[in-house]
Structure 1
Amino acid sequence: MSGQHQPVAIDRIAVIGGGAWASALALTAARAGRQVMLWARDPRTVQAINAGEGNPAYLPGIAFDRAITATGDLGVALERADAVLLVTPAQTTRAMAEALAPHLAPATPVVLCAKGIERDTGLLLGEVLSQAAPACRPAVLSGPSFAGDVARGLPTAVTLAAADGDLADALSQALAGTQFRPYASTDLVGVQVGGALKNVLAIACGAVAGKGWGASALAALTARGFAELTRLGLALGARPETLTGLSGLGDLVLTCSSPQSRNFAFGLALGEGRSVAELAAGGKLAEGVHSAAIAVDLAARHGIEMPIGAAVSAVLEGRIGLDAALTGLMTRPLRREA
């Protein structure tokens, strides 16, 4: 057996979060035969789930086909939990992990299901979790997946990583079903880098689509974006096979090609002429907006060139207009591709 811990029997799963992705993963765990307790901050969400109405605020029209219990009490949600799925926004990870820590039994696996980089520190979310809840065992779930698809039971494959391969296997088996396939990995860094950077790159791809530049330009930008993701991932210690797998290239392709992605949709709106300020005033921002500047800064610290990421960051911060940024990318000096 790898690692120092005993094999984990995972039957009771706590899902922390009341949004669409949290509800979709709760349904997935329940379909896999697990006992599921979902924590949500909004009492209306808790009431709707417990009344058998599903989560109409975030997954309208999707009936819950399995029994899931909801609560607004973290202590109740985490009581006797064999594993925890933390499904709250990336920038709230530290605060949520600190709130979870007093209720977690030692060595409880906590699976990060958000994608991003902590804006204030440049830390990957796994590092944040280890600082805020040091007694837990961090894991990460990431890959090409939309909440609506997963909630409807449509075929989906993702990566689930933990430093201990046995734990990654156990968590994957606990969530697996005929339509949801988690592939185990021990590359925590690679899985996190893919999930975080694809959000930034999807904004650029959305902007190109919004400009009406065509499928050829979109494919080129996606490919060059993947080169940036790979350079930074390798510098941070990711494995090449992770970056070309589900949580890297797979997630990038999905997110950079569909308006279902909040990040692509944000870029699409920019390309169609809406301003960053206007979109920011409309409510919750796409995660790539939070991660862009810190991702570019992280790349600079490692001597990595990220022209697409830098262009996205500059546009979001108002240092350059979108047209100038896209033109700048298209007029970079020609060089050999590799």
Structure 2
Amino acid sequence: MANVTILGAGGFGLSLALTAYHNGHTVTVWNHSQQTIAEIRRDGERRDKLPGVPIPEKIALTTDLACASDCELLLFAVPSRHIRELARQVSPYVQAGTTVVNASKGLEEQTFLTMSQVLHEEIPQAAVGTITGPSHAEEVGREIPTTVVAASASEETAALIQDIFTSHALRLYINTDIIGCEIGGALKNIIALAAGICDGLHCGDNTKAALMTRGIHEITNLGVTMGGKPETFGGLSGIGDLIVTCCSMHSRNRRAGILIGGGTLPEEAVRQIGTVEGYDCCHAAWQLAQKHQVSMPITEQLYEVLFAGKSAAQALQNLMSRPKKHEYESFSC
């Protein structure tokens, strides 16, 4: 059995901590807030994230990053905007050969790097992988059957992640296309924001089906240009994650989009919902599309809504009035 440390006591971090614990591993969960840890111990659960899901006393809780010094697997389950700084802080504690796993979905704003690439830069002594796919924490924590991907350029690293977290309710598939998996996981949040906006505008099922289908086309176009494999985007980390994020009210991106489509200013919608990964990712993806000359009209219109004051209704009309095209066109603009 392995020593597993989870950085982040949010819903997904705790859900994966529970999975590893029930698989017989020794589990420690780190969180920056002593108050959050005290509340979990007092209540026996994280009431605001996973109400009704018990957190056993044998799962250690700490605010000391030195907990990373003696683990075989260290998992980052914090918002993507905090990954680099946290990785920089924890790196001195991480021993050579430790498996470091990203569970966040986003792109770094200034560098456009995926989270695994950030971890490679900050913790070069570690083997790096990612867990991604259609996996709402609220369902993983309640052991509702879920399938995700353990991705790493190293199949050995991916297999270790698979072994530690696979359970009767959580099934992990191996994928060595870590770039494609992370691009899919990050960009689907953009399309989910747009899907929520369509819901806020009271569009129908036809609209959402079109948005999701053309959305995965955009994701694939950019992902392949950045080195991902086309088939990855038809799998769990692509279309699978897109479906669950666009269609579920567990999705913070979709809920924020519903508010924006209903007339709430984007900044206020994000403030009300909390972490909305698609908001920051849209800015990064829009810049990447310009850099690589990749056609991403949904992303472009969403960018205009989020950051340039365009109305959601006008953005939708702009998409519907684009020039006639073949369904399968080249990746260039």
Query: Which TM class, normalised by the smaller chain length?
Result: over 0.9
Q: How far did 1:184 drift? A: 1.1
Q: Distance in 1 between matches of 2:42 and 2:4?
A: 20
Query: TM-score, with normalisation over the residues of structure 2?
Result: 0.95
Aligned to 1:47: 38
CA contact (8 A) 2:135 2:147 kept: yes
Do residues 289 (structure 1) and 279 (structure 2) align? yes
Q: How far did 1:44 drift? A: 2.6
CA contact (8 A) 1:143 1:248 kept: yes
1:256 partner SS: helix
Equivalent residue in structure 1 for 2:52, among 54, 61, 64: 61
Write the deviation string for residues 224-269 of structure 1: whole angstroms up to 9, x where unpaired: 0000001011111111221111011100011111121000111111
| Matched residue count | 328
Aligned to 2:62: 71
Aligned to 1:298: 288
CA contact (8 A) 1:36 1:69 kept: yes
2:272 partner SS: coil
CA contact (8 A) 1:208 1:217 kept: yes
Do residues 92 (structure 1) and 82 (structure 2) align? yes
Q: Distance in 1 between matches of 2:145 and 2:239?
A: 18
Give, as a single letter, the amino acid of the residue that structure 2 aligns with 1:156.
Answer: T
Aligned to 2:239: 249
Q: Distance in 2 between matches of 1:113 and 1:326?
A: 32
2:128 partner SS: strand
Q: How does 1:211-290 map to 2 (within 5 A)?
A: 211-282=201-272, 284-290=274-280
Do residues 35 (structure 1) and 26 (structure 2) align? yes
Aligned to 1:7: none
Aligned to 2:199: 209
Could you list the runs of 5+ residues in structure 1 that have no partner in the other structure?
Answer: 1-9
1:304 partner SS: coil
CA contact (8 A) 2:147 2:171 kept: yes
Give the aligned CA root-mean-square deviation in angstroms: 1.5
Do residues 189 (structure 1) and 179 (structure 2) align? yes
Aligned to 1:160: 150
Relative to structure 1, the CA distance from residue 227 to residue 90 in structure 2 (aligned partners, 3 Å threshold; closer, same or farther) is same
CA contact (8 A) 2:79 2:275 kept: no
Q: Distance in 2 between matches of 1:33 and 1:130?
A: 28
Relative to structure 1, the CA distance from residue 281 to residue 163 in structure 2 (aligned partners, 3 Å threshold; closer, same or farther) is closer
Give, as a single letter, the amino acid of the residue that structure 2 aligns with 1:252.
Answer: L
Equivalent residue in structure 1 for 2:131, among 112, 123, 141: 141
Q: Distance in 1 between matches of 2:265 and 2:292?
A: 32
CA contact (8 A) 1:31 1:66 kept: no
Write the deviation string for residues 84-128 of structure 1: whole angstroms up to 9, x where unpaired: 110011011110110110000012111000000001211111111
Q: How far did 1:66 drift? A: 7.6
Relative to structure 1, the CA distance from residue 287 to residue 59 in structure 2 (aligned partners, 3 Å threshold; closer, same or farther) is same
Aligned to 2:17: 26
2:70 partner SS: coil
CA contact (8 A) 1:293 1:310 kept: no
Q: How far did 1:205 drift? A: 0.6
Aligned to 2:118: 128
Identity %: 34
CA contact (8 A) 2:76 2:103 kept: yes
Give, as a single letter, the amino acid of the residue that structure 2 aligns with 1:57.
Answer: D
Q: Distance in 2 between matches of 1:99 and 1:181?
A: 32
CA contact (8 A) 1:12 1:82 kept: yes
Give, as a single letter, the amino acid of the residue that structure 1 aligns with 2:159.
Answer: D
CA contact (8 A) 1:45 1:57 kept: no
1:105 partner SS: coil
Q: Distance in 2 between matches of 1:103 and 1:241?
A: 37
Could you list the runs of 5+ residues in structure 2 that have no partner in the other structure?
Answer: 329-333
Q: How does 1:96-115 map to 2 (within 5 A)?
A: 96-115=86-105
2:35 partner SS: helix
